[in-house]
């Protein structure tokens, strides 16, 4: 084989003979490895115990005439062993003088986008995994294309040889500038590979999922909205094909939605023998991308890797990112089978024109022009194409008749109904509704050939997702079956005919009903139509029962229900028992996921209600049987306190004690219970350094209606802002489940902390290394007016020293009565000179499918400024999904100042005028924290005068407050050439001084202060009207730091004025 890539054992090794592989090695003692002086392979020679024996290929080692006495040339096609260790690969070859270990580097590619990986390739690249081709050259690892001729290896190539082939194709074209040249196909002596029909689905039957059923698990690191989107993508494949995705129970082979370093990548087809990953990495969690990755799972390679792709697209290799060239290699003819389908430019499995491009506008794949001279679009990530659907249906041998029904109601009938059905017909309908719903099937007509046991023509209904599900009934003849009801959310309906008898056939309708009794130890419940919007006027009641002696645990994956303070419209109600009279656990709505729920018995009652107006995505929850370890006689082995958690438990200690090393027993510690109105607490050993491995808990309790304030006098702990080692935590309440005010360390003294109620918990922890001086803090109590009836506030009551004030949660505004709250519109008009704006639901994650606008207006003559303090919006290169847009004007049609997304805090944005329009948009998938920004004003700027008068004020709060001190503002007023400016002072009150040396207004007839002066003004009373000679006037307003006055108001416009005087006579 002709390898032109350099593999080096050390930096001095060189390839001087381009037709062979030159390696440099150290000779090993012949006693260990065996040798032959004639340069032939030593058959059966002893070997080191850690190296595998490599059978001798034909060929002779010979010295390299140009490479030096200790360099030898290797004949073609040696047996190799490829191992991976931190992406340094070792090629082990057998030489007459012993084994040669040749180390060479392969560039580790960063997966910037979607990658389809063969199972064998992933095995090869698996750390610490060794593949020895000599042990099984034609086994499961190998594809079956090509032969190796007379080298005695095999007529079938292994997967590793194909991988080496791919690596060689890249390496052979690499130059020093990493530009990839045209590939050189690997050729073996002997029989040539046969030409095959172009094929893009897998050609290996073992990679097809049996029955088209694909079990799945979604990793716990994904959010509720991401889970919902994954299910939408799976339902998309189900709707148009006959594959079925089910939540895994005990199936051996299944897929796992996870996040791997490769980003967006997946196995192609079924791997078998355990789980296989489908990686949905950062920025991959989009509907179209997930549909694409599921295409790999089903068994599809990328469309552009088909063997016949060169007839349809051109790969522009110089535009490909270094290290990503292998994503554009053609598949071998025996690896894929397109099942007779034409090349599909519209396939969701096709790369876009700039995928893995060095630049956004550089093509890596260029489609050929069609008959009209137009290059078709490629790389869509919206939906399955007609070609995708046709190929998937062929791959899984879907019946030509039947479909997947996903609506809440529908109908189905035999082909040709009511005019008779053809013989030898096979149809399958798969009805799939929302988990937590059941399917009611009602046959309206039945006219099939009747036979014993319905042997010939029949319709079969099964309670589940496939042909092995429990049988609900097998029907033929003309008797209409009774109504059939599934026990879960799926139903399988199969129709077969094999007789020549002609009858009407059958017709049936189905409907999904929500609610009902559920007697299982685990399962899933979702609102109707989830993850799409639930339907109006729905009421669903579920009664869940698990095994005796257990409790029902309920965890929510997602919740998006119409928001209201009292959940009066749409809501989910959960009760601890079996009926609507059982104790209420909670009534939930809005966008926040409810906390985990645990019943006190083995039953739980749930009701979902929607009204006739606003509809949202709804909720998704899992239920399971839960055990209370703390209820056992030994209380989980805890000495003092046992705290039960959902799925587990933990031990705790009373105040003044701390957990021992076994995490169950308690021992004396610092801290304790403090009931005085004021006092002092310090770290152990104060004022000396605190000891290591201490855990101190102080619980401060004041009388009812009092709140506790904590002020630190001195503070010095190990650590910085991370607070990973030594720290102190302050909580409003006596347990760690209370509100955390802060976690503090380092040398910065915390601000004063005030509790929410009449108790406070202070916890200090030190590790076993560095110790500091610690802290000293004083606490005191103040009566809390908010503790009684929340101070009359609807939402939040904020206690202040001697008083209180009401506040509203984010998304609401305070009513005029200063106590009630009303929901804030997502369209706000802001006229205040400064303030805060933030994304909806701040500081929690913003909701999906939201559009909010802010129209900010400043005082005329002052520009709006927007400065961001926090910013976290879903990242995209073009901010195509969630984004914030800022416009230089009062509408979205104004010039845009920026379209923002990502995690980097943007630079401040300043409008050119006194209007700014801000719009925030979120899509249906990823949510982030959002943003918080401060809007303010800046004086000065360039302003254009028109014939219609405009206003200019000295400061933003003109009329409410005097102008500020130490101000220097410059306004440049301009108009069209041939026109002049007229300035009329409506109000004027500036600090008076004989020479106007303190505060003053100065005007210049031109673009800057070098122009002719029009006057410097101060004092009270407006100056006379002023006219410019030119088409620009500069206004300079200066104030010192002492006396401030009301300021001034100027009205200006452009006029045609022939006179050259500056003031009106």
> For 783-812, what is each residue's pLDDT tens digit?
877 878 888 898 888 877 667 888 886 667
What pLDDT shows up at residue 1032? Answer: 92
pLDDT at residue 398 greater than cutoff 60? yes
Domain termination residue (choose one: 481, 514, 547): 514
Q: Is 236 annotated for ligand binding?
A: no
Residues 954 and 868 in one domain: no
What pLDDT shows up at residue 190? Answer: 29
Residues 508 and 612 in one domain: no
DSSP state of 165: H
User: pLDDT tier at 114 (50, 70, 90 boundaries)?
Assistant: low
> Which residue, among 128, 119, 93, 94, has the nearest Cα to 7 in the 3D structure?
93
Residues 500-531 have pLDDT tens digits of: 777 899 999 999 998 889 998 988 899 998 88
Residue 346 backbone class (left: φ over 0; alpha: ψ -120 to 50; beta: rest): alpha
Residues 864-913 have pLDDT tens digits of: 999 999 999 999 888 988 999 999 998 999 999 999 999 999 999 999 99
Pairing of strands 425-432, 404-405: parallel
Q: What is the CATH number of the domain that holds 1046?
A: 2.60.120.290
Alpha-carbon span 714 to 720, nearest angstrom: 16
pLDDT at residue 619 greater than cutoff 70? yes
User: pLDDT tier at 1037 (50, 70, 90 boundaries)?
Assistant: very high
Structural domain includes residue 712 = yes
User: pLDDT tier at 1022 (50, 70, 90 boundaries)?
Assistant: confident
Residues 997 and 913 in one domain: no
What pLDDT shows up at residue 71? Answer: 39
Give the H/E segment covering residue 31: helix 30-33
- Cβ–Cβ contacts within 10 Å for residue 669, how many? 18
What pLDDT shows up at residue 668? Answer: 66
Upper half-sphere CA count for residue 796 (Cβ side, 13 Å): 10
Catalytic residue at 874? no
Structural domain includes residue 765 = yes
Residue 109: partners with Cβ closer than 8 Å, 6 or more residues away: 323, 324, 326
Residues 946-1002 have pLDDT tens digits of: 989 999 999 988 888 889 998 999 999 999 888 999 999 999 999 888 888 889 999
What pLDDT shows up at residue 339? Answer: 83
> Which residue, among 1027, 1038, 916, has the nearest Cα to 970 in the 3D structure?
1038
Residues 730 and 693 in one domain: yes
Give the angle subtended at the CA of 587 by the CAs of 583 and 590, to the nearest 5°: 165
Q: Is 292 annotated for ligand binding?
A: yes
Residues 774 and 831 in one domain: no
Peptide bond into 820 cis (omega under 30): no
Domain termination residue (choose one: 469, 489, 514): 514
Q: Mean pLDDT over all residues of the chain?
A: 79
Structural domain includes residue 566 = yes
> Looking at 581-585, 625-629, 929-933, which range is the least confident one?
625-629
What pLDDT shows up at residue 320? Answer: 94
What pLDDT shows up at residue 194? Answer: 32
What pLDDT shows up at residue 168? Answer: 39
Alpha-carbon span 320 to 877, nearest angstrom: 18
Q: Is the CB of residue 141 less than 8 Å from the CB of residue 158?
A: yes
> Which residue, among 489, 527, 111, 142, has the nearest Cα to 321 in the 3D structure?
111
Residues 753 and 720 in one domain: yes
Q: Could you tell me which residues are beta bridge partners of residue 641?
A: 652
What pLDDT shows up at residue 604? Answer: 97
What pLDDT shows up at residue 53? Answer: 35
Instruction: From residue 857, give the alpha-carbon distance in Å to each of 772, 909, 1049.
Output: 52, 15, 17
Residues 734-787 have pLDDT tens digits of: 876 788 888 899 888 888 898 888 899 999 998 888 889 999 999 988 887 787
Structural domain includes residue 473 = yes
What pLDDT shows up at residue 117? Answer: 55
Q: Could you tell me which residues are beta bridge partners of residue 652?
A: 641
Give the H/E segment covering residue 102: strand 98-105
Residues 590 and 504 in one domain: no
Q: Token digits for 961?
A: 């407050």
User: pLDDT tier at 601 (50, 70, 90 boundaries)?
Assistant: very high
Residue 309 backbone class (left: φ over 0; alpha: ψ -120 to 50; beta: rest): alpha
> Looking at 28-37, 92-101, 281-290, 1021-1030, which range is the least confident one?
28-37
Upper half-sphere CA count for residue 651 (Cβ side, 13 Å): 19
Instruction: From residue 729, give the alpha-carbon distance in Å to each of 334, 697, 736, 782.
Output: 64, 9, 10, 21
> How many domains does the chain fold into?
6
Residues 844 and 947 in one domain: no
Alpha-carbon span 792 to 782, nearest angstrom: 19
Structural domain includes residue 461 = yes
Give the H/E segment covering residue 1065: none
Structural domain includes residue 879 = yes
First to last CA, the chain: 100
Structural domain includes residue 582 = yes
User: pLDDT tier at 673 (50, 70, 90 boundaries)?
Assistant: confident
What's the 3-state SS for 593-636?
A: CCCCEECCCCEEEEEEECCCCCCCCEEEEEEEEECCHHHCCCHH
Q: Identify the domain containing residue 43 by its residue range.
A: 21-105
What percent of the chain has a predicted confidence (pLDDT) above 70?
A: 79
Residues 912 and 978 in one domain: no
Helix, strand or coil, per DSSP, at residue 171: helix
User: pLDDT tier at 687 (50, 70, 90 boundaries)?
Assistant: confident
Residues 71-84 have pLDDT tens digits of: 343 333 333 322 22
Structural domain includes residue 145 = no
What pLDDT shows up at residue 1058? Answer: 60
Q: Is the CB of residue 266 less than 8 Å from the CB of residue 279?
A: yes
Residues 950 and 1051 in one domain: yes
Domain termination residue (choose one: 600, 627, 654): 627
pLDDT at residue 334 greater than cutoff 60? yes
Residues 755 and 854 in one domain: no
Residues 954 and 1041 in one domain: yes
Alpha-carbon span 402 to 493, nearest angstrom: 9
DSSP state of 1017: E
* Active-site pick, 120, 121, 293, 303: 293
pLDDT at residue 16 greater than cutoff 70? no
Mean pLDDT value across residues 1015-1026: 88
Instruction: Report H helices in 81-223.
Output: 119-124, 159-171
């Amino acid at each position: 084989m002709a390898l032109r890539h350099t593999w080096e054992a050390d930096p001095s090794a060189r390839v001087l003979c381009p037709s062979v592989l030159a390696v440099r090695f150290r000779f090993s003692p012949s006693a260990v490895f065996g040798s032959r002086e004639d340069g032939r392979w030593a058959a059966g020679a002893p070997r080191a115990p850690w190296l595998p024996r490599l059978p001798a290929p034909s060929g002779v080692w010979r010295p390299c005439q140009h490479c030096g006495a200790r360099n030898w040339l290797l004949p073609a096609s040696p047996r190799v062993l490829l191992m991976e260790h931190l992406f340094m690969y070792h090629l082990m070859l057998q030489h007459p003088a012993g084994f040669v270990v040749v180390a060479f580097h392969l560039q580790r590619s960063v997966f910037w986008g979607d990658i389809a990986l063969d199972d064998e390739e992933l095995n090869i690249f698996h750390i610490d995994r060794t593949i020895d081709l000599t042990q099984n050259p034609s086994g499961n690892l190998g594809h079956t294309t090509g032969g190796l001729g007379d080298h005695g290896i095999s007529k079938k190539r292994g997967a590793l040889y194909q991988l080496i082939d791919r690596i060689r194709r890249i390496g052979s074209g690499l130059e020093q500038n990493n530009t990839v040249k045209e590939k050189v196909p690997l050729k073996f002596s002997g029989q040539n590979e046969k030409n095959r029909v172009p094929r893009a689905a897998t050609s290996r039957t073992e990679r097809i999922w049996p029955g088209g059923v694909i079990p799945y698990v979604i990793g716990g690191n994904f959010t509720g909205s991401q889970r919902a989107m994954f299910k939408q993508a799976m339902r998309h494949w189900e709707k148009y094909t006959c594959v079925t995705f089910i939540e895994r129970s005990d199936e051996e082979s299944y897929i796992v939605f996870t996040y791997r370093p490769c980003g967006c990548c997946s196995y192609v087809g079924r791997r078998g023998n355990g789980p296989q990953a489908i990686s949905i990495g950062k920025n991959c969690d989009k509907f179209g991308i997930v549909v694409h990755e599921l295409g790999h799972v089903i068994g599809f390679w990328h469309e552009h890797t088909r063997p016949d792709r060169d007839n349809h697209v051109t790969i522009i290799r110089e535009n490909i990112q270094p290290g990503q060239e292998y994503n554009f290699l053609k598949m071998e003819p025996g690896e894929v089978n397109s099942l007779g389908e034409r090349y599909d430019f519209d396939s969701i499995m096709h790369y876009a024109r700039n995928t893995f491009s060095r630049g956004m506008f550089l093509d890596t794949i260029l489609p050929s022009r069609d008959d009209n001279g137009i290059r078709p679009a490629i790389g869509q990530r919206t939906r399955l194409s007609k070609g995708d659907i046709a190929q998937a249906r062929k791959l899984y041998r879907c019946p030509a008749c039947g479909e997947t029904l996903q609506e809440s109601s529908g109908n189905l009938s035999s082909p040709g109904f009511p005019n008779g059905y053809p013989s030898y017909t096979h149809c399958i309908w798969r009805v799939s509704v929302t988990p937590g719903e059941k399917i009611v099937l009602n046959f309206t007509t039945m006219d099939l050939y009747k036979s014993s046991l319905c042997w010939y023509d029949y319709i079969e209904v099964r309670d589940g997702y496939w042909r092995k599900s429990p049988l609900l009934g097998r029907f033929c003849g003309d008797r209409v079956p009774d109504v059939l009801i599934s026990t879960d959310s799926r139903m399988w309906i199969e129709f077969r005919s094999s007789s020549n008898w002609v009858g009407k056939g059958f017709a049936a309708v189905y409907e999904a009903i929500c609610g009902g009794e559920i007697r299982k130890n685990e399962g899933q419940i979702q609102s109707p139509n989830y993850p799409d919007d639930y339907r109006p006027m729905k009421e669903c009641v579920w009664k869940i029962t698990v095994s005796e002696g257990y409790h029902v645990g309920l965890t929510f994956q997602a919740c998006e229900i119409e928001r209201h303070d009292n959940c009066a419209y749409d809501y989910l109600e959960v009760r601890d028992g079996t009926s609507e009279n059982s104790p209420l656990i909670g009534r939930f709505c809005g966008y926040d996921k409810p906390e985990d729920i645990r019943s006190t018995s083995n039953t739980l009652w749930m009701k979902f209600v929607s009204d006739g107006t606003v509809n949202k995505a709804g909720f998704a929850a899992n239920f399971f049987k839960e055990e209370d370890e703390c209820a056992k006689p030994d209380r989980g082995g805890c000495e003092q306190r046992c705290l039960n958690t959902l799925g587990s438990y933990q031990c705790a200690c009373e105040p003044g004690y701390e957990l021992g090393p076994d995490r169950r027993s308690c021992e004396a510690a610092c801290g304790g219970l403090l009931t005085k109105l004021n006092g002092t607490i310090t770290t152990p050993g104060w004022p000396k350094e605190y000891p290591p491995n201490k855990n101190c808990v102080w619980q401060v309790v004041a009388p009812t209606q009092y709140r506790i304030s904590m002020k630190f006098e001195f503070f010095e702990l190990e650590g910085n802002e991370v607070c990973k080692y030594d720290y102190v935590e302050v909580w409003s309440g006596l347990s760690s489940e209370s509100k955390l005010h802060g976690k503090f360390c380092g040398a910065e003294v915390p601000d004063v902390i005030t509790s929410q109620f009449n108790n406070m918990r202070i916890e200090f922890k030190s590790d076993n290394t560095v110790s500091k001086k610690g802290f000293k803090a004083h606490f005191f109590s103040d009566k809390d007016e908010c503790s009684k009836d929340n101070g009359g506030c609807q939402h939040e009551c904020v206690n202040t020293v001697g008083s209180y004030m009401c506040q509203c949660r984010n998304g609401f505004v305070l009513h005029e009565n200063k106590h009630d709250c009303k929901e804030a519109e997502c369209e706000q008009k802001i006229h205040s000179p400064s303030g805060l704006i933030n994304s909806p639901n701040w500081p929690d994650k913003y909701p999906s499918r939201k559009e909010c606008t802010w129209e900010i207006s400043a005082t005329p003559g002052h520009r709006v400024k927007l400065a961001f303090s926090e910013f976290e919006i879903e990242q995209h290169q073009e901010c195509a999904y969630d984004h914030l847009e800022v416009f230089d004007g009062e509408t979205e049609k104004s010039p845009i100042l920026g379209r923002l997304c990502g995690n980097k805090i943007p630079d401040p944005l300043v409008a050119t005028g006194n209007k700014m329009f801000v719009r925030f948009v979120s899509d249906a998938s990823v949510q982030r924290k959002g943003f918080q920004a401060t809007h303010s004003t800046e004086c000065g700027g360039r302003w254009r005068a028109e014939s219609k008068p405009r206003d200019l004020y000295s400061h933003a709060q003109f009329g409410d407050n005097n102008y500020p001190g130490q101000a220097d503002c410059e306004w440049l007023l301009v108009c069209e050439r041939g026109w002049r400016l007229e300035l009329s002072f409506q109000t004027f009150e500036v600090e008076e001084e004989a020479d106007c040396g303190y505060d003053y207004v100065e005007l210049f007839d031109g673009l800057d202060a070098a122009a002719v002066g029009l006057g410097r003004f101060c004092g009270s009373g407006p100056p006379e009207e002023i006219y410019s000679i030119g088409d620009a006037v500069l206004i300079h307003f200066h104030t010192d730091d002492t006396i401030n006055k009301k300021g001034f108001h100027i009205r200006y416009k452009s006029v045609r004025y022939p006179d050259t005087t500056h003031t009106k006579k």
